[in-house]
Amino acid sequence: MPAISARKPYRIGRSPTGLGLFATKKIKKGTRIIRYFGPMLDSKNKKHDAIDNKYLFEITNRWTIDGSVRKNIARYINHACRPNAESDVKSKKRRVYIRAIKTIHPGDEINYDYGTDYFKEFLKPIGCKCAACEKKRAKKRAEERAERVRLKLKADKRALKKAEKAKRKLEKAKAKKLKFSAAHPHARGTGKPSKTKSARTKSLLSRMPKSPALANRASST
C-alpha cells in the first residue's frame, strides 16, 4: 500500500466495498483533494487500445489515463450515487483532479460518481454498494417484510373468520337437531324403541279373521 504524507487530508481505510479513501481533516467544498494519474493511453495505439482494467479514466476520445499504478492513490476512491466529490477533467492538460462538491468531515469516506458507462459495466451486475443504494435496498427489504406481515395477518384473519363461520354453522345444526327431537319424541333414535319383527308379525296375525274350518273345529272341541 502506497505511503501517504501526514500533510494530506486523507488516508486509505476499510470500506464496505473493500478499500476506500477517508478524510483525516475537514475538506471544504470546492477543494482539490487529489489528482488521478497514471500512464497515458492513446486509442490510436493498438497495444494501448488492448489494455483493459477497471481503473481506466477516459479524458477524450483519444486519451485515457491508466490509473492502475500503485502510486495513484486516487484509485482507492469508491463510487457513490450521491457523492461528496467529483472528477474535474482538464482535457487540454490531460489531467484529472478529484474535487469536493460539499464539505467533507474527518472520518467521512471520499467518493464520486464514476459515470453511467462504468456503472453499467462493473457495478450494476453485482449491485452498487454505496450508502445511498444500501439505504434504498434496506428500505425495500423493510417494505417487503411489512408486506409479508400484512399478508400473513390478512390470511390469519380470513382463516379465523372461516373457522368461526364453520363453528356457527355446526352450532346451528345441533340446535336444529335438538329442536326436531323435542318436537318428535318417537322419531328414530329418540323415545321408545320400535317393535321387533316377531312382535309385529304376531300382532298382525291376531288381527286377521279366522277361516270357517278352523272356527268349526274350535266349536266341536
What are the structural domain ranges in the chain?
10-127, 130-186
pTM equals 0.65
Is the domain spanning 10-127 CATH 2.170.270.10? The answer is yes
pLDDT per residue over 35-72, tens digit each?
999 999 999 999 998 998 889 999 999 999 999 999 99
* Number of other CB atoms surrounding residue 72 within 10 Å: 20
Q: Lowest mean pLDDT: which of 4-8, 32-36, 49-53?
A: 4-8
